[in-house]
């Protein structure tokens, strides 16, 4: 069974705990996907080892390995045209504090969203509902920002800082 981007979204939602008791319908409502998509994504993620087979918690070391070493191949970032959207990458928390001088930079990346507060270079989110889900859950937003920084292969400093934050938050000491 192959992983799909919404499997990663579901897994990131489950990372901080507190969501393990959500029904698939509730999880779907939080993420802006259908209940059947949430169910299938959860089961693919569990089968892939991203979610524990014993409970509904994310396998933190597997998530770290996927985000650090595999996400840039599974869902690479290819900036598109300038558009209005939801800020991601170095211009959003938790990375923004490391790039304060660059926040007015023309290189800001955004997920396209007509209600977005910032103009920037359009990047395709992991899946279509990411802007909706991120704006509903600040913790999930930060995980998605870190994931985007790790997807952007050409941004070495941004990737390194995102990796360091991710390793610290997940308690992951695996190979560098």
Asked which of 19, 42, 74 is the last residue of a domain, the reply is 74
Number of domains in the chain: 2
Three-state SS at 31: helix
Predicted pLDDT of residue 19: 73
| 14 and 65 assigned to the same domain | yes
62 and 97: one domain?
no
User: What confidence score (pLDDT) does residue 106 get?
Assistant: 66
69 and 95 share one domain: no
For strands 82-88 and 118-122, give the pairing: antiparallel
* 22 touches 57 (CB < 8 A): no
Residue 146 belongs to a domain: yes
45 and 28 belong to one structural domain: yes
Residue 104: its pLDDT value, please? 59
Q: What is the pLDDT of residue 115?
A: 86
In 3D, which of 129, 152, 151, 155 has the Cα closest to residue 140? 129
Write down the pLDDT at residue 38: 96
Q: What is the pLDDT of residue 24?
A: 95
pTM above 0.85, yes or no: yes
Which residues in the chain come in under a pLDDT of 50? none
Residue 138 lies in a domain: yes
> Which of 18, 48, 74 marks a domain boundary?
74
158 found inside a domain: yes
Domain check: are 65 and 99 in the same one?
Answer: no
The domain of 105 spans: 82-170
- CATH number of the domain at 15, please: 1.10.10.10
* 68 and 93 part of one domain: no
Exposure class string for 63-91: b at 16+ Cβ within 10 A, else e: bbbbbbeebbebbebebeeebebbbbbbb
Q: 127 and 161: one domain?
A: yes
């Amino acid at each position: 069974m192959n992983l799909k981007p919404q499997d990663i979204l579901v897994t990131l939602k489950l990372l901080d705990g507190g969501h393990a008791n959500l029904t698939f319908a509730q999880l779907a409502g939080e993420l802006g996907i259908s209940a059947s998509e949430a169910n299938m994504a959860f089961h693919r993620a569990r089968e892939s080892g991203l979610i524990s087979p014993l409970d509904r918690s994310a396998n933190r070391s597997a998530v770290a390995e996927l985000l650090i070493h595999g996400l840039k191949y599974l869902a690479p970032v290819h900036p598109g045209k300038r558009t209005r959207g939801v800020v991601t990458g170095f211009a959003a928390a938790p990375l923004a504090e490391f790039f304060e001088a660059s926040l007015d930079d023309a290189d800001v990346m955004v997920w396209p969203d007509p209600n977005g507060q910032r103009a920037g270079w359009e990047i395709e989110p992991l899946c279509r509902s990411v802007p909706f889900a991120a704006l509903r859950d600040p913790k999930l937003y930060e995980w998605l920002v870190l994931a985007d920084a790790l997807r952007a292969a050409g941004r070495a400093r941004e990737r390194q800082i995102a990796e360091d934050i991710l390793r610290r938050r997940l308690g992951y000491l695996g190979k560098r």
